[in-house]
Amino acid sequence: MASSIPLSDMDRLARDIRAGDRALLSRAITLIESKRADHRRTAAVLTQAILPATGNAVRVGITGAPGVGKSTTIDALGTMLTKQGRKVAVLAVDPSSRRTGGSILADKTRMAHLANDANAFIRPSPASGTLGGVAAKTRETMLLCEAAGYDVVLVETVGVGQSEIAVADMTDFFLVLMLPGAGDELQGLKKGVVELADMIAINKADGDNIARAKAAAAEYRAALHILSPRSPNWSPPVVTYSALTGDGIAELWTRVLEHRERLTASGEIASRRGEQQVKWMWAMLEERLFAPLRSDRALKAALPRIEADVAAGRLAPNAAVEEIADILGR
């Protein structure tokens, strides 16, 4: 358990994590995810201790609508990479899930190869919490995985909306998965998500779907032309592939490496990561500051009535804030 790790043992724990001890890595992640004040302090010491061993992994964010085949894609891509001698960590950001560990645990049945691969490590996001808190915990987990020698970190967003932005803000490369049949998908295409994309990949380009996948790719290329790219040093490509057959998976990774090489040479990766670290700091601070509000019993009892009064127009928002502050004694 996290509580059994004394502060004095952090240097030894950091060494064991860097040596690749998977059991201790899982134990350390549990410590990172804990909301206890003493655990937070210990986690901060541990994170600082492993920091010099982090930052060398390829960080890839992956998103896509339900049914697009994220899990199958991650399984195929991750398995290809472990066969090449790489170590792959798969993490999830899902602030909305109340299920045990988030949906990625269920998705392990669709990551059959990676789930049993000694060179892969799969970890869900915390089961509940605010987006900022979950994203920050996932970020710290990513650092632990990097220190443990995982040189590829795949971060899946299994939530919706803001979680996609959070994943884009903690990775170097943001991959957006789409399905064939661009006519329908394009109508509901979320502009914000596509603007974050470093690549759009059309899955299920196999059998009778190949022609539809190529047509979809052409539609997305046209759409990208009218959007501002995320980076001045990279024009997002649109590719087709099949997670089922494995066709095109190697090309996906080639594009990721090409992007990394180009943005490293320009200095953009380093500057982007620096900006991300500052954002993560503020996300964790906001989570820390809001935690007492969510746990205050008097406020919990009063909030439904206050929110109802504000929604009905009986109470002005600024007056509601003053009432909340009075309850908290601030």
Select from 3.30.43.10, 3.40.50.300, 3.30.470.10, 1.10.10.10 the CATH code of 54-266: 3.40.50.300
pLDDT at residue 130 in the model:
66
pLDDT at residue 36 in the model:
84
Lowest mean pLDDT among 48-62, 115-129, 145-159, 256-270: 115-129
**Confidence (pTM):** 0.86
pLDDT at residue 189 in the model:
52
Lowest mean pLDDT among 98-102, 162-166, 176-180, 210-214: 98-102
Reply yes or no on whether the pLDDT at 231 is more than 90. no
The domains of the chain are located at 1-53, 54-266, 281-328
CATH architecture of structural domain 1-53: Up-down Bundle (1.20)
Please provide the average confidence, as pLDDT, over all residues in the chain: 85
Reply yes or no on whether the pLDDT at 93 is more than 70. yes
Condensed to tens digits (0 to 9), the pLDDT of residues 166-187 reads: 888 899 999 999 888 755 555 4
Condensed to tens digits (0 to 9), the pLDDT of residues 132-178 reads: 667 778 899 999 999 999 999 999 987 656 788 888 889 999 999 98
Condensed to tens digits (0 to 9), the pLDDT of residues 256-276 reads: 999 999 999 999 999 999 999
Percentage of the residues of the chain whose pLDDT score is greater than 90: 51
pLDDT at residue 59 in the model:
97
Higher pLDDT, 294 or 80: 80
3-state secondary structure labels for all residues of the chain: CHHHCCHHHHHHHHHHHHCCCHHHHHHHHHHHHCCCHHHHHHHHHHHHHHHHHCCCCEEEEEEECCCCCHHHHHHHHHHHHHHCCCCEEEEEECCCCCCCCCCHHHHHHHCHHHHCCCCEEEECCCCCCCHHHHHHHHHHHHHHHHHCCCCEEEEEECCCCHHHHHHHCCCCEEEEEECCCHHHHHHCCCHHHHHHCCEEEECCCCHHHHHHHHHHHHHHHHHHHCCCCCECCECCCEEECCCCCCCCHHHHHHHHHHHHHHHHHHCHHHHHHHHHHHHHHHHHHHHHHHHHHHHCHHHHHHHHHHHHHHHHCCCCHHHHHHHHHHHHCC
